[in-house]
Amino acid sequence: MSTLRAGVARRVALSVGASAALVLLLLYLLLRQQLIMQFDDELRADLRMIANITNVYRNGDLYVNLDADVQVDYGEHGDKLYEVLDSDSTEVVDSSPLLEEKGWRVTFPHPRDQVAILEHTLTDGRVFRLAGRRMEAQWGGDENTSPPKDLKEVEVIVIAGRDRAPLDTALWRLASTFIAAELVFALAAGFGAFHAASKGLTPLSTLTAELDKSPIEVRARPFAEAGPAEIGSVARALNRLLGRINMTMARERRFLADAAHELNTPLAELRTVNDVALLRSDSIERLHHAATVSRDVAAKLGETLKTLFALSRGEAGIEPSRAIAIGNLLRELWANAQARLPQRRLVLEASASCDVEWYLPPTAMRGLIKNLIDNAVAHAPSGSTVRASALEKRDAKILILENAAPDLDAEDISRLFEPFWRKEAAHTDRGHAGLGLTLAQDYAEAMRASIVAVLTPEHILRFTLRWPLYVVD
C-alpha cells in the first residue's frame, strides 16, 4: 500500500525531474546547434581556402595549388576532400587524392554567390558534410603580374568537404553527458523530495501514530493543534469529533442510568406490594390491592418499554408522505389525551390557520404531535388552555404549540429533550417516563424538521416545529 510520503515524493520528483529534463533538453539543443554551426564555419573556411587556390593560368590550365602541409588532410586516408567542376558540372577539373585515387565523384547543386551545405555518403560508407559554391577561378600568376587582357574568365564549381565522424562523436558525447546529468538530477530530486516529504509530513505522521495508538472512539485527551495550519485544521476537526463522541457517550451513559432507574423504581414498588400481600395472604382485600398495583405497574412498564423501542427503531422517516389535515389530527390526538386525564379540565384552542393539509410521513407526524400534546396535558396547570397555530412561509411551514409552564425556569429549557428528565415539581405520577419530548425530537429529525422550545417571560412554553418547504410539498 502506497504511503502519502511516497506519493508526495514521487510526484515532486517527477515534477522536478520533468522540469529539469525540459531545461536540459533545451540546453542540449542549443549546444548541439552550436557544435554544428562551429563545424560548418570550419567547413566554410575550407571552402574559402580551396576557392582562393583554385587558379587559372595564361595557357588556360586550371588546377588547385594545394600546399604540401595540408595535403595530408586531403589524402586518401584524410578527413577532408575537395572537388572543382567546370561550369556545366560535367567534367572534374581537379579533385583531392581521396576522390581521385578511388575514382569517386560527389554531386552538388550549383548555387551562385552563396554557399550551400549538404551531406554526402561515400562508397566506403563514410559521411561527409559538403559546402559548395559557383564562382570564377582566380588568376594563378605572380601577384605582381597582372592577368592578360585576353584571359577569359573561367566559371567553376568549388566543393569542400569534411568527414562528419568527429562531429557525430562530439554530439554523442554531449548527449551522453546530458542524459547522465538528467539521471543524476532525477535521483537527487527523488532523494531530496523524499527527505523533504518526510520532514514536512512529520506532524501528520505523529497524528497518525497517535490515532493508531489511541483510536478516537476510546481517546480521552484532545489532539495537539499546534504545528502547520493544515494539520492544525485536521486536529481541530478531530477534537470536535472527539467532543461529540464524548458528549454522545456521556448522554448514552446518562440514558442507561436513567432507564435503569425508571425500570427499577416500579419493579421495587411491585416487589414491595407483593411482599406485603404475601404477609397477609388470608386478606382478599390485600391481594386485590396487590393485583391492582401490579397491573398498573405492568402497564407503566409496558408503556416505557414501548417508548424505548420506538426510540431505538428510528424508522419513521422512511415512510412515504401523505396529505395530513393538521387541524383534524390535533383535535383527534387532543381528544385521546383528554380521555385519559379528564380531571385536568384543559382546553385546546386551535386557530383557523391549522385547517390546512401538509404532505408528511403520517406515522412520524402522528407520533410527534401525540407526544407534544401528551406533554402539555400532563404538565400544564389544570383548567389552562393549550394553543396551536400554523404558518406557511415562502421557504418553510411552521406549527406552534404552547402551554403554560409555571414550574419551569429558563435554565430548564436546555434539558427538556434529555431522556427521563423531569422537573421535580412536575414529577407526578401521571404514567409518563420522561421520554415523550425525546421521542418527539427523534420524530422531527426523521422528517428533517427542526423543533425548538422557548420559555417566554410569561412562563409560556412554546414548541416551534419547522419543515423546509421541499420536505412538506
**The pLDDT value given to residue 87:** 78
- Is residue 408 domain-shared with residue 465, that is, in the same domain? yes
Q: How far is the C-alpha of 199 from the C-alpha of 195, rounded, in Å?
A: 6
d(CA 335, CA 333): 5
Same domain, 27 and 139: yes
Q: What is the mean pLDDT, run by run of 10 residues, along the chain of 473 residues? A: 68 81 91 94 90 78 75 80 83 83 71 79 88 82 67 82 92 92 84 75 72 66 70 77 75 66 71 77 75 78 66 55 91 87 86 90 85 87 92 90 90 82 54 70 84 92 90 67
Q: Is residue 355 part of a domain?
A: yes
pLDDT value of residue 389: 94
The residues near 398 (Cβ < 8 Å, ≥ 6 apart) are 390, 391, 392, 464, 465, 466, 467
Task: Check whether residue 263 and residue 387 sit in a common domain.
Answer: no
**Phi, psi angles (nearest 5°) of residue 249:** -65, -40
What is the predicted pLDDT for the residue at 255? 62
The range of the structural domain enclosing residue 380 comes to: 316-472
Query: SS3 of 6, please?
Result: helix
The answer to whether position 180 is within a domain reads no
Q: Identify the CA nearest to 262 among candidates 307, 295, 294, 293.
A: 307
The length of the chain, given as a count of residues? 473
Judgement on whether residues 328 and 457 belong to the same structural domain of the protein: yes
Q: How many domains does the chain have?
A: 3
Using CA atoms, how far residue 48 sits from 131, 133, 332, 389, in Å, is: 10, 10, 117, 109
Residue 329 and residue 429 in one domain: yes
Give the global pTM. 0.47
Q: Indicate if 29 and 113 belong to the same structural domain.
A: yes
Let me know if residue 205 belongs to a domain.
Answer: no
Is residue 381 packed enough to be buried (19+ CB in 10 Å), middle (13-18) or exposed (0-12)? middle
Please tell me whether residues 239 and 351 are part of one structural domain: no
Do the beta carbons of residue 447 and residue 467 sit within 8 Å?
A: yes
Whether 434 is covered by a domain: the verdict is yes
Give kind and range of the element (H or E) at residue 72: none
CATH at residue 260: 1.10.287
- With the CA atoms of 268, 274, 278 and 279 taken in that order, what torsion angle do they form, in degrees rounded to the nearest 10? 50
As a whole number of angstroms, the distance between CA 312 and CA 200 comes to 46
Q: Which residue has the cell 565522424?
A: 165
Same domain, 257 and 365: no
